[in-house]
Structure 1
Amino acid sequence: MPLLRLGVSLQPRWPIEDGTAVLRAASNAEQLGFDHVAVGNRLLDSGFGLDTDPLVLLSAVAGVTTRLRLLTSVLVAPYYPALVLANQAATLDVVSGGRLFLGIGTGWNPDEFEAVGVPSRERGARTDDHLAAAKALWTTRPADFEGPFTRLRAAHLGVPPVTHGGPPVWVGGHSDAALRRALRFGDGWYGTGADAADIADVQRRLRELATDDERVERLTLASAAFLTPPGIPAAVPSPGEPLGGVSPTATRVADALGELSEAGLTVCTLWLPVAAEHVEKAMEWIASEVMPQLA
């Protein structure tokens, strides 16, 4: 079985009165052998979990870990001016020693787009503009760029990234537009709740959309998956079909992950719809019962 790198989402609603709880969980994830932790991007209260700025929170996680990779899952590119996005991502890339993976999406929430003053109808075009400008700033000093929303003239980014070419960009989404964006700008594709058939379909569609098969082969295929370990109550409904079904066992979960791996997935983020006080118990179950079956 090809190697499958497992991570965990830091999405539960952590207690505000103990702001370091999420950092302890991230540190524990590193000790348990997880590949990465992931943080989503919400500006308004979703009622679904931790609604923080992913680059800010992952900067704090970088300070309490040494090996753990850091994934934005996903950052909504249109919310950030291109120069701000490029500089913040490069800053985190530097302070983490090159551990950032920049999961990018176009967003969907009309209330948030209205609140930041960005027309939601422009979200695709702005994402393309911001990614192209960020790539220019990460790779060229000084950088010139002319796009529909960003103009740069002999710009020197405040801090150049430590990763050559900038942090890897994983483009989220299942639409053809998202897949084209991944081929144009991405180092990887990032899905949500994808099963083995979905992964195979994404690979087929990428090959159909690509002008170069080698470009497809270079893309990392990653996805979030949902899991509520046995004996741990769910705090919110699973957003999609859970790994191992509604009554998962370690073997069922490992088999499901194995199918994803065989289909071509190389990175899987486990989204745990459990209360904050159960997150570490859930991670420990995964590390002790599921991971050994994937070795």
Structure 2
Amino acid sequence: MRIGLALPQYGGFADPAAIVAVSKFAEASGFDSVWVGDRLLVASEPRGQYPGGQIPPGFAHFLDPLTVLTVAAGVTDRVRLGTNTLNALWQPPMLLARTVASLDQVSRGRLDVGIGLGWSPDEFEALGVPWPGRGARLEETLDVLETAWAPGPVEYVGERWTVPHARIDLKPRQTPRPPILLGGHAPATLERVGRRADGWLAGPLPIPALTGMWTTVERTAEKNDRDPSALRLVVRINPAVETDDVDPKLVPRRGSIAQLAGYAHDLETAGAHEVMFDLQLTTNNVDELIETAAELHTAITGQR
């Protein structure tokens, strides 16, 4: 199982020097990947429920995810670069196709494109993007991306977008395209992963719930004549790291280094392909983030 780390991006960590420091640390210390998220604003009176409970105040200062990954790409050579998750519906898919293809070229083919539907109606309103019908909009967005990245001339006619017959010679470095991973836990998301994505971005669920949902993904893949073993399961954890052990029922949202490493080991046993940690909500500065990340990596790899 691979181990990933979220890059500094929001709140007090939204600093270019921090991105460079953590990117270099991750590469040198054996992490397999670095990841970014995507937030636009923190509404004073939110109309949507943040998946983790209360919206972290630091989300009001949030660096653009693909800009952060571009910085990381320039100071690393090995680690994969991922979005977990990118709100792809916030922009026209042809612009997104260009940006993603550019970043995949800049990173020499190290990009994983993790996409989510979002949870905040306020962000969609601020961008003039309809909140209803997000699933259908995502399906067409994926269609446009795949069209733009396919070899040869491009042409697309859909319900929301039309691309005239044209040359677009900028293509991703990876073939046939960068891996597309989808985030979320709704039945429609699991079905969509199995039907057309390369993997699932899951949250910190109890192992039985996680494996049950993953079985749904695998069965859907089989029904659509796809190889379930080719799909990836990536689990994101935003833990509160404690000095001492906590009630096991609180793990992995809270826990000691040993408990979090134990959960990661359970994930690996259950078939997860990657676990990634965002430590920006539980550390106070870059040095503490790096120290905590190093302890976690050592604890996880030491259990193998």
The TM-score, its normalising length taken from structure 1, stands at 0.87
Paired position in structure 1 for 2:48: none
Paired position in structure 1 for 2:155: 144
Counterparts in 2 of 1:256-295, with a 5 A limit?
256-272=263-279, 273-274=281-282, 275-277=284-286, 278-294=288-304
Deviations 1:92-127 (A, max 9, x none): 100001111000011121111001101100322211
Q: CA separation in 2, counterparts of 1:156 and 1:194?
A: 44
Q: What is the Cα deviation at residue 246 of structure 1?
A: 4.1
Instruction: State whether structure 2 residue 270 is matched by structure 1 residue 223.
Output: no
Deviations 1:21-64 (A, max 9, x none): 12211211111111111110111146244622211110111001
Paired position in structure 1 for 2:99: 88
Correspondent of 2:26 among 26, 29, 44: 29
Counterparts in 2 of 1:231-270, with a 5 A limit?
231=243, 241-243=250-252, 246-250=254-258, 252-270=259-277
Aligned residues of 2:191 and 2:216 also touching (Cα < 8 A): no
Q: Which moved more, 1:273-282 or 1:96-105?
A: 273-282
Q: Which moved more, 1:269-278 or 1:57-66?
A: 269-278
Q: Secondary structure at the match of 1:75?
A: coil
Q: CA separation in 2, counterparts of 1:221 and 1:270?
A: 14
Q: Secondary structure at the match of 1:20?
A: helix
Correspondent of 1:9 among 2, 6, 9: 6
> Please, which runs of 5 or more residues in structure 2 have no aligned partner?
43-55
Q: What is the Cα deviation at residue 230 of structure 1?
A: 4.2
Q: What is the Cα deviation at residue 212 of structure 1?
A: 3.6
Q: CA separation in 2, counterparts of 1:266 and 1:88?
A: 27
Q: Secondary structure at the match of 2:140?
A: helix
* Number of aligned positions between the proteins: 281
Give the 3 Å change call, closer, same or farther, for CA 197–135 of structure 1 in structure 2: same
Correspondent of 1:209 among 208, 214, 220: 220
Instruction: Write the letter of the residue equivalent to 1:39.
Output: V
Aligned residues of 1:137 and 1:143 also touching (Cα < 8 A): yes
Give the 3 Å change call, closer, same or farther, for CA 123–246 of structure 1 in structure 2: closer
Q: What is the Cα deviation at residue 159 of structure 1?
A: 1.6
Instruction: Write the letter of the residue equivalent to 2:90.
Output: Y
Instruction: Write the letter of the residue equivalent to 2:12.
Output: W
Q: Which moved more, 1:152-161 or 1:186-195?
A: 152-161
Aligned residues of 1:43 and 1:112 also touching (Cα < 8 A): yes
> Please, which runs of 5 or more residues in structure 1 have no aligned partner?
233-239
Q: What is the Cα deviation at residue 156 of structure 1?
A: 2.8
Aligned residues of 1:27 and 1:64 also touching (Cα < 8 A): yes
Instruction: Write the letter of the residue equivalent to 2:11.
Output: R
Give the 3 Å change call, closer, same or farther, for CA 241–139 of structure 1 in structure 2: farther
Q: What is the Cα deviation at residue 241 of structure 1?
A: 4.5
Instruction: Write the letter of the residue equivalent to 2:256.
Output: P
- State, as a whole percentage, how many aligned pairs show the same letter: 32
Instruction: State whether structure 2 residue 69 is matched by structure 1 residue 69.
Output: no
Higher relative contact order, structure no. (Cα contacts within 8 Å, ≥ 6 residues apart): 1
Q: What is the Cα deviation at residue 226 of structure 1?
A: 3.2
- Over the aligned positions, Cα root-mean-square deviation in angstroms equals 2.2
Q: What is the Cα deviation at residue 12 of structure 1?
A: 5.0
Deviations 1:243-291 (A, max 9, x none): 3x744242x3332112111111001111222223321111121233332
Instruction: State whether structure 2 residue 192 is matched by structure 1 residue 178.
Output: no
Aligned residues of 1:220 and 1:266 also touching (Cα < 8 A): yes
Aligned residues of 2:241 and 2:254 also touching (Cα < 8 A): no
Instruction: Write the letter of the residue equivalent to 1:44.
Output: L
Deviations 1:107-162 (A, max 9, x none): 12111100110110032221111111101111132122222212122233352111
Instruction: Write the letter of the residue equivalent to 1:27.
Output: K
Give the 3 Å change call, closer, same or farther, for CA 221–140 of structure 1 in structure 2: same
Give the 3 Å change call, closer, same or farther, for CA 284–249 of structure 1 in structure 2: closer
Which 4+ residue blocks in structure 1 deviate beyond 4 angstroms? none
Q: What is the Cα deviation at residue 242 of structure 1?
A: 3.7
Counterparts in 2 of 1:121-160, with a 5 A limit?
121-157=132-168, 159-160=170-171
Q: CA separation in 2, counterparts of 1:217 and 1:290?
A: 24
Q: Secondary structure at the match of 2:83?
A: strand
